[in-house]
Structures are given as C-alpha cells and as structure tokens.
Amino acid sequence: MQNNTFSTLFVGQNLIKLKEVDSTNNFLKDLLSKSEPLAEGTVIMADNQVSGRGQQQLVWQTEPGKNISISLYLKPAFLPLNKQFYLNMAVSLAVREALGDFIAEGLKIKWPNDIYYSNKKMGGILIENTLTGAVIKSSVIGIGLNINQVIFAESIGNKATSLMQIIQKETDLMNILQKISIFMEKYYLLLKSGSYDILHKNYLSQLYHYDVKASYFANGEVFEGVIKGVDERGRLIMHTAKEQKTFNFKEIEFIHTK
C-alpha cells in the first residue's frame, strides 16, 4: 500500500498496485473478507488483469500496462437500498467527467454504465454491493478503461476505442487515476448529501441515445424506440411506436452503429 498526493480527502489516498491479478474486484473482496480494516477510498490498480469481469460475467480483455484496471472500495451505508442505482449514476458521471478532461466532446454514458465515445466503447464499470440487513456494508467498484491500447481483437475491433486512438498520444495512467479519484470523490459526496435530483439530471444529460430515435433488440425482435429516462431502480424508460416500456439490465440490446 502506498500513500498518494492526490488532492482528495480519501479516494485514492491508499493505493495498492499489482503487476498481475485475476480480477481487481476479486482481490479487493478478498482483502475485505480478512479481519484487518481497510480504509474507505482504497484503490487496487493492476498492470495486467487476466480475468477481468464486466456485467453478467462477461470477460473484460485488456493489454498489459496499457489501460486502467482498478477497483475502488466505498462504504455507502447512508444510501437506502431502493436508491442503489444512484451510486451507479455517481460513479458513471465521475468516470465520464474524468475522461472529459482529455476529450473535449463526444463522451457519453451508455446505460447502465458503459463509457462511450461516439458509437464505440471506451470502458465499463462493475459495481458489487455487499448488504448487511437493509444496509449496504460495502461497494466494490471495478473500472476498466481503454487508454493507450490501439490494437483490439477482431471480434470487437469495430466496437471499441481508446483514449490514444481519439487524441493520438499516450497518456500517463497515474494522471488518469488522479482525475478519476478527484471526480469520484466529488460525485460520491454529492450522493452522500442526498443530491439525487442533481445526479439524475446530470446522468440523463450524458446518456447515450437519450431522446433520440434508435434501433434496439428485445424479446426476439428489432424495434425503434426513444430513451426517455431511467427510473430509481435503474430501469430504462423507452417510448416505442406502440407504448412506453421499461427494461431491466440485459433485457434490451443496443444495436451497434458505425
């Protein structure tokens, strides 16, 4: 563990850097299962994550030493269980704003928490909450971002992008981490203050395809719809030609456009 000089109160102040790990989320959860107390805001950062996970157990592949593979420990015991998705909003906004310091425009949050530039994926977020009764005991927040990688597997080559591909130069990963830590603390403190309306409004303002007609796939068919919002439970609210519908995670697929 090392102490940092980030201009934050607690996020990123304790940093554990690893050369290789199966998953930073798994490593952090293992630390939490031991008896020693861990400081809130602790960050695990790996040069190489060999079994990184995305939503629904999908594998997140990353080139060693090129990208951001981190996990952050938070203790949002103040957050009511029916407002868990506001933590997702806060984290997504923090990552998007951190990258916004390097990319002038074109960044969006693809529901629920992927980071997109134009129509390509830059990264994703995986939040794993541990509950004790009706209280969120801990949140392990995994963040994977394509930063200096320029070659991707053929299967995702037309769907993925990186900061280097966008701005045409390498970026120091510790500089990225510092920005993420600063904005994560900003939005986490907003969440702690109960500023749900502000988070919700900001999240919608940065939402990919918000209020835009686009094509989607659900229940075995392709249809056109317009995203009109996200409810407290995190469900996507969409208007179709026939009706208003809500979708839970993995119930709907965005059809990729070049």
pLDDT in tens, the chain (258 residues): 566 668 999 999 999 999 999 999 999 999 999 877 899 999 999 999 886 555 444 445 568 899 999 999 999 999 999 999 999 999 999 999 999 999 999 999 999 999 999 999 999 999 999 999 999 999 999 999 999 999 888 777 689 999 999 999 999 999 999 999 999 999 999 999 999 999 999 999 999 999 999 999 999 999 999 999 999 999 999 999 989 999 999 999 999 776
Same domain, 53 and 177: yes
Dihedral sign, CA of 250, 58, 184, 159?
A: negative
The verdict on 170 and 237 lying in the same domain is no
Single residue among 181, 205, 229 that ends a domain in this structure = 205
Question: Do both 172 and 240 map to the same domain?
Answer: no
Does residue 168 sit in the same domain as residue 223?
A: no
- Residues 117 and 245 placed together within one structural domain of the fold: no
Q: Indicate if 59 and 177 belong to the same structural domain.
A: yes
CA distance 142 to 124: 8
How far is 122 from 176, CA to CA, in rounded Å?
13
Strand partners, 139: 74, 129
Query: What whole-number distance in Å separates Cα of residue 173 and Cα of residue 143?
Result: 13
User: Could you tell me if 133 and 219 lie in one domain?
Assistant: no
Given 182, 205, 228, the domain boundary residue is: 205
Question: How many structural domains are present in the chain?
Answer: 2
Are residues 200 and 230 located together in one domain of the fold?
no
pTM of the model: 0.93
Give the domain CATH number at 157: 3.30.930.10
Residue reference for tokens 């090392």 = 2
Q: Sort strands 43-49 and 14-21 into parallel, antiparallel or unpaired.
A: parallel
Q: Are residues 221 and 111 in the same domain?
A: no
Residues 227 and 157 in one domain: no
Say yes or no: 74 and 121 in one domain.
yes
- CB-CB contact of 123 with 108 (8 Å): no
Q: Which structural domain range is residue 237 located in?
A: 213-254
Token pair 């400081």: residue: 39
Q: Give the type of residue at 188.
A: Y
Q: Is residue 53 within 8 Å of 60, Cβ to Cβ? A: yes
Residues 69 and 181 in one domain: yes
Query: What CATH number does residue 240 fall under?
Result: 2.30.30
